[in-house]
Amino acid sequence: MSSNSGIQIPSRLPLLCTHDGVLLPGSTMRISVDTARNMQLVKSRLLKGTSLKSTIIGIIPNTRDPEHDSDELPSLHSIGTAGLAVQVVGSNWPKPHYTLLITGLCRFRVTQLLRERPFPVAEVEQLDKLEQYTEGDTADGELGELSQRFYQAAVQLVGMLDMSVPVVAKLRRLLDSLPKETLPDVLASMIRTSNKEKLQVLDAVDLEERFKKALPLLTRQIEGLKLLQKTRKLRPDDDKRVLAIRKGGVFPGRQFSLDEEAEDEDGDDTALLEKKVKAAAMPEAALRVCLKELRRLKKMPQSMPEYALTRNYLEMMVELPWSKSTTDCLDIRAARVLLDNDHYAMEKLKRRVLEYLAVRQLKSTLKGPILCFVGPPGVGKTSVGRSIARTLGREFHRIALGGVCDQSDIRGHRRTYVGSMPGRIINGLKTVGVNNPVFLLDEVDKLGKSLQGDPAAALLEVLDPEQNHSFTDHYLNVPFDLSQVLFIATANTTATIPPALLDRMEVLQVPGYIQEEKVEIAHRHLIPHQLEQHGLTPQQLQIPQDTTHEIISKYAHTHTHTYTLCVLNRFRQKTSLLTHVEDRRTRLKCPDRYTREAGVRSLERKIGAICRAVAVKVAEGHKVSRAESPTEQHADQNTETKVEDSGIAAPPEMPIVIDHIALKDILGPPLFEIEVSERLTLPGVAIGLAWTPMGGEIMFVEASRMDGEGQLTLTGQLGDVMKESAHLAISWLRSNAKTYLLSNGSADPLEGTDIHLHFPAGAVTKDGPSAGVTIVTCLASLLSGRLVRSDVAMTGEITLRGLVLPVGGIKDKVLAAHRANLKRVIIPKRNEKDLEEIPTHVRADLDFVFASTLDEVLNAAFDGGFPSAVGHPQVVSKL
Ligand code: ADP
């Protein structure tokens, strides 16, 4: 430092305020600059200045984080270090900032602040008189002794370091060449000291005091090093760890991290991170990776983009619940009560869930199958999953898989990608903070596939009990044990679940509810829940059972498809047919797009809407006198509690009872008033039963005929199987035309006629063989000119010989027919056994016809049967 001896700093200095790190004279430090004032200083002083003087600035340490007080200059520490800006590096990532390399020259005291904007400038008094430092040992008395002791300690310290490292060798030489007075500053900035300690050294203007402050720090470092060397002797292979040198400086003023164990009260964040890593109780492999990354992190300058990435990674690692878990509190009796309390009906599902839990209780390490609840939306699949977590006393986390088409969504991105992050499984674990939560994989049937890989394949590993103890997320790149996680999946249909995935799961069907069950669910669960959600009490709002019935049958529908009008070939239409078509069109405009839902979600929404409307009235405390009530006929029953046309109006102290009129006011006109029977007023329409992921549905099949050349037109987005069914139906009818007197005089009923067959809800693709019987019935009706019974629905596959084959989804289909108030259901004889699953009282409401031939179907579908020549060709004699 002798070269500095003549330095005289300017009497006015621009001030750079830092809030972390303390620059001491004789050392070099990197300072990241991103606040407005500091940026201004760099721009207008360092980057524009041309003289050496302009590169000298004052560094004021310990300033309150200036990020939050851009307007007001925070109070400044009175002593700072004048420094020489050796290097300025600008970067725009992650935000605009400069990194300065500053070499400390000497202390100064701020005597007067001259201006604050655009950056502070102050009148300063130089405190270290560098020229006074003389070579050799001139100081005498206590100071001389102190400096001698300090020097020897410094020599001892350097002697303990590895001399083969060039920086250490250079330091050893410097120790002899530097004036002893500069040693406290130089060494205090090299050894591991906290900012607070450095600040004390900086504030010690008196040389003697400075030695006194710095000496204990040096001794502490030596002791720490000794201790470390002792433990190292036991593990001689990792010498290198003793010394970690931060790269990137020209002057020896860099920090030596001599003691890895050392604590830093100031919260030096790598040290904090290190502590966290050690406390995270991670398995050996993960710990090794973390320590390696930590070492890399320490050597990296903070401004390097990779610094942030590595830090994020380490933070993720320490936050993961490597060995944190909750203890299961499994009591089957309590679980049964809880499941029953939370859910009405669903007996089969609840039974299976209890079995599953019971086995877990007996054998806690169970590697059982993954349960997969399959059923229409809103039937309580998610909510049962939540209840299972509750019965077990575990954390619950839902992972929505709908639309996931990239396998890195499950497995994470490799860290080489910008913006990489872990997958949903690992993120979920981080969120719940324990390693044995219940994970609900929602909508596994809606997983997509794309160029970015198949997420289902990644899920296989997650769900396979044989593999998931070492699930490796790409981001973490170390295995995480998922075997303690309880996975439950939900889906609307098994059809689109990849077979390999399905194979790992036990499918539990959750069918839709019948009307009575919905009413019970509404009164036991949905209404109390909605009341609570809206801050209402049963004393303020009452929904009678009749109203619930009405909501279910008239309002709670799902909007399944947009209706497209039957597209007819107009050019071929004859006048006679035109009226027929127009007539049909007006009729078919009924809101077919709403189907009664299988679950209760829409019902819950409607109840929510009622609660909102009532909440407004309760909040307003709005009263309307009975005299104004336009609904007089109800006045005698619910005298005080009237709900008016204008909305609801009731004194808040009374319960507001939702009746038929109030319902109409709140929810508007019913969505589904046109009865099914009204649609069957023409020949050529029949009702089929279809199965969709949303539950069962009734489906109309319509046919019309026009003059032509025997062509069949099919519309309504039919799949191949369905088209084939239509052709089969036509062929069977043509071959049996005589038997059923359909031929209209000629041998072929299709002679000179085109037939158009349409399946409404044209925007929805339909496929499957089960519409066969419906198509036959519909065409038989068209050709015979007779009406199909309006209360009958049917399903079944047909063969060319007129046999009826069994089909799937009987339960959902029957429930749909029941919901639609139909009376008779024709199903294949071989499906008779499936009726066992259907609640008794639904069965009691319906008249089932089990058909094994099309003849039986036709007889059941038409009033008074469908006349045939009893299978004998004698009828030919009609001519
Ligand atoms: P899903 O996951 O099958 O689409 P949810 O589990 O989200 O349906 O259920 C929708 C709502 O219906 C929830 O508020 C749930 O509590 C309620 N729910 C469904 N089924 C029942 C039932 N059997 N008993 C009580 N509430 C039910």
pLDDT of residue 621: 72
Q: Confirm whether 823 is a catalytic residue.
A: no
Q: For the chain, percent helix, then strand, then coil, each to nearest 5?
A: 45, 20, 40
Would you say the CB of residue 83 lies under 6 angstroms from ligand 1?
A: no
Rg (CA), the chain: 42
Beta carbon of 383 within 6 Å of any ligand 1 atom: yes
Counting atoms of ligand 1 from 1, which one is nearest the CA of 517? 23
At 166-207, the pLDDT tens digits run 778 888 888 888 888 888 888 888 888 888 889 999 999 888
What tokens does 286 get? Answer: 């993960």
Is residue 875 very low, low, confident or very high in pLDDT (cuts 50, 70, 90)? very low
- Amino acid identity of residue 329, one-letter, is C
Average pLDDT, stretch 402-430? 86
604 lines ligand 1 (CB under 6 A): yes
The region of weakest confidence among 165-174, 669-678, 748-757, 758-767 is 669-678
From CA 280, how far away is CA 176, in angstroms rounded? 45
Would you state the pLDDT for residue 307?
Answer: 85
Residue position matching structure tokens 């209840």: 387
**Cβ atoms of 707 and 576 closer than 8 Å:** no
What confidence category does residue 532 fall into, taking pLDDT thresholds of 50, 70 and 90?
A: very high
What is the rounded distance in angstroms from the CA atom of residue 820 to the CA atom of residue 258? 80
Pairing of strands 685-692, 695-707: antiparallel
**How many beta carbons lie within 10 A of that of residue 874, not counting itself?**
9
Best residue among 341, 347, 383, 517 to mutate for probing ligand 1's pocket (most ligand atoms within 8 Å of CB) is 383
User: What one-character DSSP code corresponds to residue 293?
Assistant: H
As beta bridge partners, residue 704 has 756
Tokens of 849: 């016809």
Q: Residues 103-122: what's their mean pLDDT?
A: 90
At a CB cut-off of 8 Å and minimum separation 6, what does 566 contact?
581, 584, 585, 588, 702, 704, 715, 756, 758, 760
Q: What percent of the chain has pLDDT over 90?
A: 18
Element (H, E) at 757: strand 753-758
Q: Does the C-beta of 343 come closer than 6 Å to ligand 1?
A: yes
Structural contact between residues 527 and 607, judged by C-beta atoms closer than 8 angstroms:
yes
Tokens of 83: 């420094």
Rounded distance between C-alpha atoms, residue 386 and residue 714, angstroms: 46
Give the tens place of pLDDT for each residue, 827-870. Answer: 999 999 988 888 888 889 899 999 999 999 999 998 888 877 55
> Does 600 sit in the ligand 1 pocket, CB within 6 Å?
yes
Residue 634 has what pLDDT? 44
Q: Does ligand 1 come within 6 angstroms of the Cβ of 382?
A: yes
pLDDT tens string 61-86: 877 765 555 567 778 888 999 999 98
pLDDT digits (tens, 9 = 90+) for 624-682: 434 344 444 444 444 444 444 444 444 555 688 888 888 888 888 876 544 555 566 78
Q: Check residue 766 and report its DSSP letter.
A: B
Q: Which of 189, 725, 770, 790 is catalytic?
A: 770
Q: What angle do CA 238, 242, 244 make, to 5 degrees?
A: 115
Neighbours of 704 (CB within 10 A): 22
Site to substitute for ligand 1 among 600, 606, 611, most atoms within 8 A of C-beta:
600
> Catalytic residue among 198, 213, 518, 813, which?
813
Nearest to 724 by CA among 714, 736, 735: 714
Distance CA 232, CA 462 (A): 41
Residue 77 DSSP one-character state: P
Please state, rounded to an integer, the average pLDDT across all residues of the chain: 79
How do beta strands 824-828 and 792-794 pair? Answer: parallel
- Atom 26 in ligand 1: residue holding the nearest Cα: 343
- Cβ–ligand 1 distance for 378 under 6 Å, the answer yes
Nearest Cα neighbor of 97 from 28, 38, 18, 20 is: 38
Spatial neighbors of 558 by CB under 8 A, at least 6 apart, are: 377, 594, 595, 596, 597, 602, 694
Report the separation in Å between the CA atom of 511 and the middle of ligand 1, taken as the mean of its atom positions: 12
> What is the C-alpha to C-alpha distance for residues 439 and 432, in angstroms, rounded to an integer?
10
Query: Model confidence at 87, in pLDDT bands (50, 70, 90)?
Result: confident
Q: Give the integer Cα–Cα distance in Å for 49 and 819.
A: 85
| pLDDT of res. 803 | 92
The Cβ-side half-sphere exposure at 698, using a 13 Å CA radius, reads 30
User: Mean pLDDT throughout 734-741?
Assistant: 82
Q: Is the CB of 387 under 6 A from ligand 1?
A: no
Ligand 1 midpoint to CA 671 (Å): 23
| Residue type at 121 in one-letter notation | V
pLDDT (tens digit, 9 = 90+) per residue, 198-239? Answer: 999 999 988 889 999 999 998 998 888 888 877 766 554 444
Please name the residue that has the structure tokens 């324990």: 434
Predicted confidence (pLDDT) at residue 162 exceeds the cutoff of 80: no
Q: Does 325 participate in catalysis according to the annotation?
A: no
Q: By percentage, how much of the chain surpasses pLDDT 70?
A: 80
pLDDT of 46: 86
Query: What predicted TM-score, i.e. pTM, was given to this entire model?
Result: 0.56
First to last CA, the chain: 129
